[in-house]
Copies of this chain bind each other. A is one copy, B any other.
Amino acid sequence: MTTGLRERKKQATRAALHEAALRLVAEHGLDRVSVDDIAAAAEVSPRTFFNYFPSKDDAVIGLDPEHPLRLAEALSARPTTETPVQALRAVHAAEAARMAAETELWPLRLQVVDAHPALAARLTASFARSEQLLAEWLAARTGTRAELDVQPTLLAAVQGSVMRSALHRWRAGDYTASLPALVAEGWDQVEAGFPVPHR
C-alpha cells in the first residue's frame, strides 16, 4: 500500500488543488475565482490543473474518486445475516464518523455547496456513482434485478438522501450535533416508514 515519490507527489498536488479551490471559492465566490487563480495558489501551471480535475467544479468538490469502490467493498464485507438496511446503516455509521473527523473540509464544502446550486448538482453527481454500485450490490444481495425491481434503485437513492439530509441538518445546527447520530435518526425514519410526527 506504500507509495513511491511519484505517487505521493501526485496525491499532494491533487490535495493542494482541491484545498486551494475550496478555500478560494468559499471566500470569494465561485465566479470570482478562476482556474488560473486556483492553479497559482497550488503552485502549478493552469494547464496542469486539468490533468487532475476535469472541471473547476470538480476541483471545488474534490471527493476521492476511489470512494465509491471502497464503499462497495465495505458493504460486501458485512455479514449476510444482516438485512440490506442494517448493512447500509452500519456502513453509513462508519462513513459519518470519518467525515465528522474532517472538521476542516466538510464544513467548507457544505458552505460552498449551499452558496452555489451548480456545485450542489456536482456533489449529487459524485454520489450518483456510489448509488449505482450500491444498486448492483443490493440486487446481488437480495436476488433482485438492479434495473427493473424496485428496491435496488430506490434504496440506493434513499441511502443518498439519508446522508445528504444528515449533512444538511449538521450544517443547519452549526455542527453542534453528532453526524453519526443525525444519520441514525434518518435511518430510523426510513425503517419506520415516516410516521406522522406527534406534536
A residues whose Cβ falls under 8 Å from a Cβ of B? 83-85, 117-118, 120-122, 124-125, 128, 142-144, 147-151, 153-155, 157-158, 160-162, 164-165, 168-169, 172-173, 182, 185-186, 188-194, 196-197, 199
Contact = CB atoms under 8 A, between A and B. Distances in A.
A27 to B, nearest CB: 24
Which DSSP category, helix, strand, loop or mixed, fits chain A's interface?
A: helix
A150 B186 contact: yes
A51 B83 CA distance: 51
Contacts of A168: 147, 153
Contacts of A158: 158, 161, 190, 194
Q: Which of A84, A150, A157 has the most CB of B within 10 A?
A: A150
Contact of A147 (B117, B125, B169, B191): B169
A181 to B, nearest CB: 11
Contact of A189 (B143, B150, B161, B197): B150
9 contacts: A142-B196, A147-B169, A151-B197, A154-B165, A154-B189, A157-B161, A158-B158, A161-B161, A190-B193
Contacts of A162: 154
A194 B84 contact: yes
Nearest to A155: B194
Rank and list the top 6 A-B pairs by shortest CB-CB distance, nearest first. A157-B161, A121-B125, A121-B121, A147-B172, A154-B165, A153-B165
Contacts of A143: 197, 199
Nearest to A122: B121
A161 B131 CA distance: 11
Nearest to A162: B154
Nearest to A129: B117
A86 to B, nearest CB: 10
